Structure 1
Amino acid sequence: MKKNYFFLAVLFFGYIGTFAQIPVSYYVNTHGKKMDELKTAFHQIISEPCDVLPYGWGAGCLATQFVKTDNYGDGRVWDMYSDVKLYYPNTYGVNIEHSLPKSWWGVSDETSDIYVGNVKAYQDLHHLSPSNVAANTAKGNYALGEVEGDIPYNDNGDILPFNNYVSKVGPGKSFMGYEENTVFEPDDEYKGDFARMYMYMVTCYENLSNRWRSVGTRSMLQKDTYPVFTVGAQRLLLKWSREDPVSQKEIDRNNAVYAIQHNRNPFIDFPNLAEYIWGDSIMRPFLLDKTAKSGAFDGILPVLPDAPVEGDVLLSTTFMTSLLPFQPVSVTGEQGWKYTSGYGAQMSGYLGHSISNEDWLISPPMDFSDVVSATLKFMHVCNKGSVANMKDNHTLWYSVSYSRSGEIRPEEWIQIPVPKYSSGTSWNDWAAPEIVLPSELNGQGKVFIAFKYLSTDSESATWQIKNLSLNVSRKSLEVGTIPGENADIHIWFDGNGTLRISAPEKVERVSIYGIGGELLYEGRGVAGVSGISLPAGLYLVKAVCAGGRVFSEKVICR
């Protein structure tokens, strides 16, 4: 089998190169936090100070800074919307473009009663870029997405579909339950840039969440501070962020904007941050000194506490304020999982009459590589349906091969018997099963659990689930333990101090442990990750591959 090579730039001895210089104390208050609490901690840091410049092209206005923030070289400014060469100070044919459409969160009209508080978002350079006029006209305020089919070249922004070979605007294709009528699709090399701009905006300006607005079907946002993005938008932005990792262009731009506005885009500084807030690491605390960075801190970090001790609870949620960390996937039907305060996650196929539905509620991927036993607990109640069909229509499943594509493949899922159900005739008859998960899950690098709901055109119950927890017992970390067959993977430090991994499949996560078992580094298996100092010594490196296989190897750093 041909091997693919995935490089992690795990650098030591103070090497910095051309990477960012991240202010050493800037992000300290984010350490140890998770999910919504983590997002809010970043909001509190990057929203003040945020010294935006006046909007426009005049002296002292923000557009005059494009020559610094978007410097392509040779007097050109970098246009992510077209390949038209834009030269400064000649601004003919150039627009100031909001990556996240301003019509989604407010207006710039000073006479509007919602103007106050929106002005910074309107003038924030972190999401403003120079744009060719035609591309900007075509983009309008359409949602991000991927355009369906081949679109012929057309650079007239007044006529859709539009395709100038950098930007496309046209009919959106369905992606993991995310559907828009017309979408804007940037070039592949900029998709991660746009994803991180969107993530920055909903974090820096989460105080404007009550003003997020839909324009037709074009908004990707909800009126809340977390998770803010709709489920489909989360999937799309995470996909783009993973496929187009942080580039040197983004690093340089982040530093340039910081010099002007005195705030940073943390989704550039920490390439994995989106995973801790919306992705596959939402159940892990964000550890400032151990997570992957796009550059080095400009000094020595203060002593930070170890990761919060959470006992043996791997997963816990009430479902009272969000479905997260679970994700809903609708296979058939018009209804879907939602959450309700006081009742938790809820699914019903009834909307004036019974409707045929198949809907799943799927956990984030969980690392069971060192688990020796796991017990799942939750409360649930079924009502308004057939008691005879209750156990067949409301079921529990697990998978070690689900791809998070939003596509349910029956062969990837195995049912777990649920020992306790409610009577099916009362809202107050909550059942509280305790389920020991199958032992074959122990040692797996990626485990999903899911609730599956079924209804028909003649019968539809309501299923409510709350107060879920997954408790595990773990084996102690032993240096030298190598789960599974290790012959086709090789992990080593090269002569420059870069950690290299040769594997037959994509490496999704890498963890580095000291000889005493302490976690020293954790990050996704993508190129360009840096910012950890490792002295010479012996380390245990664990790699979790996309297929769920886990490898660990003792590695000497000289």
Structure 2
Amino acid sequence: MSFAFISAFAQIPTGYYDGTAGLSGAALKTKLKQIITNGHVDHGYNGLYTGYQTTDRDNIAGIPGLENDNTILDIYSENPNGTDPYSYSYPGAQCGNYNSEGDCYNREHIVPQSLFSSNAPMVSDIHFIRPTDGKVNGMRSNYPFGKVGPTSYTSQNGSKLGTSVSPGYSGIVFEPVDAFKGDVARMILYFVTRYETQLSGFGTGNMLGGSSFPGLQAWELNQLLAWNTADPVSATEIARNNASYAYQGNRNPYIDHPEYVDQIWGSPVVDTQAPTAATNLATNNPTSNTISLSWTAATDNIGVTGYQIYVNGVLYSTVTGTTATVSGLNPSATYNFYVIAQDAAGNSSPQSNTATGTTLAGGQPGGSCGTEDFSNIPASASSYATQTWTSNNITWTATDARTDQNINGTGDKAITIRNGSLTSSTISGGIQSLTVKAQLKFSGSASNLNLQINGVTVGTIPYTSTSTAAVTINNINVSGNVVISLVNPVTDNRIAIDDLSWTCYTGSLGTVESSKDKAGFSIYPNPVRNNELFVKGENLSKISKAQIYDFSGKLIETIENPFKNSNKINLKGLVKGNYILKTDSFSTKFIVD
């Protein structure tokens, strides 16, 4: 889309950008700050929901990937390549309390309001505050935006939280889907322009630069410039900019004039060079269900950020070092392995040499797999915030959590969550059972934590104010890579968690089918052909969600209200293999031929 076309379509007021001709760098940025400060009317924090009536609606006909159904356009749930996992009709479903995605939407400060102490007019500036799903907003927390490597959380539209692989920063970051990366970049560039004279008094949040120019930390600026280039201004951004101008009286200059970005900060360095292949891949130390790998590092012109490990041609996991242990293997079985190096730009190396390894005989599922005693949590603090730490190569994220409590009678450290959750990064080896201690702190009433594996609730952990005994959930039986989450569904109950452990599982994905389910529901044909799976049973239309897993436990697809209009599920070209169909009424296995 040409700049001339964008400018014409954007309905920029005549003379709005007078005085910018011939300027560049800091001088152009300061001139733009003066322009977009004039006319800015602060309607207050509560006014944002009124503004969203016109600024953030999915109502632009003919735009690929949008439904044009007038629902809230949420960058954390919008699926540009298919049906949205859920949607919100305006003005309903404003948060409120939430436990999971799809409960409600609230106001997401793309630049966290904690950095400017929630002061006006920043706290209510609609140009960088979007309506987004409450759960995903909470998971993003106050983290900067960047490219995620090892992932601890993935939303239903593919937005991710995890360890940064953006060059120059190795902390926790949040990564939106590709279709909105440019949007996020231009909102942040607007912020550091509109408020450039105040930046020195703001917190940095590992993203802001603390000075008027360039306004951002070098790593974040480089990442945002790359996103701005890769995801150009869209028709939806132009429409939002026009509506925001009508509501608030000022504009985002980087939507009206995308060329200003390069004129101020320069062009990003585009990395098109792939890493070399890793070499000398070898297998060693086999057990009945694990094989260890080692290899010689790849090289890259900027830097290798990780290695993808493939087992029998299927992606197993991504690691940052040059060693790994592959778990969840079958006894007395032979496997082929190779690795592929990647850099921060997403360039992939050729595959390494293939190494073959054979597990030992006699393995059984159920061996000890991991523990977490919370000894590495952040320093003792009574305030509630997102807490992150790493133990035994697992990164744990506790949202709305404090670090100063313990389980009565132990004196050991514990993590205490309020309206949040405790979530692991991806763990190999599967999970058969899990054991944990939980205790209610302060006021509230006895209840349960929800245990989720790969986003699916598999059991509950009861707690009381006097409980100190460990609780075990058995027969979870999910193999392959897993993410463990303990979620508090009770608003304002504060629960201390300690002594977490789990056992491995090397069998197939567990799908407990009760006699009622078997009698009440059936699927056909099985094996499935022509990508169509039919389900027979009573009250199909009342089933709210269907999920498809592969036998490693990986969630392939979530379908909302799957049988609202028919008893057929379109499998959208799943490759040949074995899968699990799980709904809120039944769970069963099927084969794609």
> Which protein, 1 or 2, shows the higher relative CO under an 8 Å CA cutoff with sep ≥ 6?
1
TM-score bucket of the superposed structures, by smaller chain? 0.3 to 0.5
Per the normalisation by structure 1, the TM-score is: 0.42
